[in-house]
Structure 1
Amino acid sequence: MAESPLIDIGDVVKRTGFAASTLRYYEKLGLITSAGRHGQRRLYDPQIIDRLATIAAATQAGFRLDELAKLLDGASDQDRQLRDSLRAKADELDVSIARLTAARDRLRHAAGCPATPIWNCPDFLRDIEQHLPARRRASG
């Protein structure tokens, strides 16, 4: 089977939308590796496209780059650790989604409440009070 030709950094930039400086930074962090150079330009294995897509998806899901550097080192014995980290991150996202959904619902309720001014809406006030520190709620 013939080896795939290497991809120039400029082609990676065009195909992924990542800036060349980002690619160099990711390489410095150990997230990606170049396969060589042609003059001053880095060359990458074609699989770099999938690796960058994985990095983009993981960062969008909330993984930090330092977490990714540890998890994506390619060691097969870390597969369980990666899966555990993915589950934990999904759990974190569930908590964030629930918090944001509740906030959205409070805003929609406030926007549609007939009370004038909005501070007269008992539901709105109750929701706001839930976000006060306990000592301020108790003191009234």
Structure 2
Amino acid sequence: MRHLDIAEVVQQSGVPASTLRFYEEKGLIASSGRRGLRRQFDAGVLQRLALIALGRAAGFSLDAIAPMFGPDGQPHIDRQKLVARADELDRTIRSLTAMRDGLRHTAACPAPSHMECPTFQRILRAAAHDGPKARRKAVRQPPRN
């Protein structure tokens, strides 16, 4: 198997050397030895780094990513954890969509003052009393006139 020194891994992956060393300390990657003072890695480290980047982009912590690699170095991803994370992302998307819709409504509201807008009043009440779930509901309800 081809070996890459740390500078080649940095160049090909875009991951800084300090991060590679940190990942090695955390057990996420392993060097295969040294040539002089430079760490050497199997070429498969690039795929592993890509999987780590994908996990991070999906919102997984490094501690949650670590067990996703089996002792053989191959990914062993818990599908239930993926489903749970996807569900969490769905909740976040709904919340952010409601916030966006509320901001757009407030920006375009034809009421002379925001304080005269029934929808804006519902958003304010929800924000003050009931938290994110109620804010989503308040934004989605059509204005009462």
Under a length normalisation based on structure 2, what TM-score does the superposition of the two structures give? 0.81
Alignment correspondent of 2:88: 92
Contact 1:31–1:73, Cα closer than 8 Å, also in 2: no
1:56 aligned residue = 53
Please give the root-mean-square deviation of Cα atoms over the aligned residues, in Å. 1.9
1:127 aligns with 2:126: no
Q: Superposition pairs for residues 23-34 of structure 1, below 5 Å?
A: 23-34=20-31
Q: How far apart in 1 are the matches of 2:67 and 2:84?
A: 15
Structure-2 change in CA distance of 1:75 and 1:83 (3 Å): farther
Offset at residue 103 of structure 1 (A): 0.7
Letter of the 2:21 counterpart: R
1:70 to 2:74 alignment: no
Ranges in structure 2 where 5+ consecutive residues have no aligned partner = 131-145
| Cα shift readout 1:4-23 (whole Å, capped 9, x = no counterpart) | x1011111111111110000
- Please give the secondary structure, in 2, of the residue aligned with 1:133: helix
Partner of residue 6, structure 1: 3
TM-aligned CA deviation for residue 66 of structure 1: 0.7
TM norm structure 1: 0.84
What secondary structure sits across from 1:132 in the alignment?
helix
| Aligned position for 1:113 | 109
Question: Runs of 4+ in structure 1 displaced over 3 angstroms?
Answer: 73-76
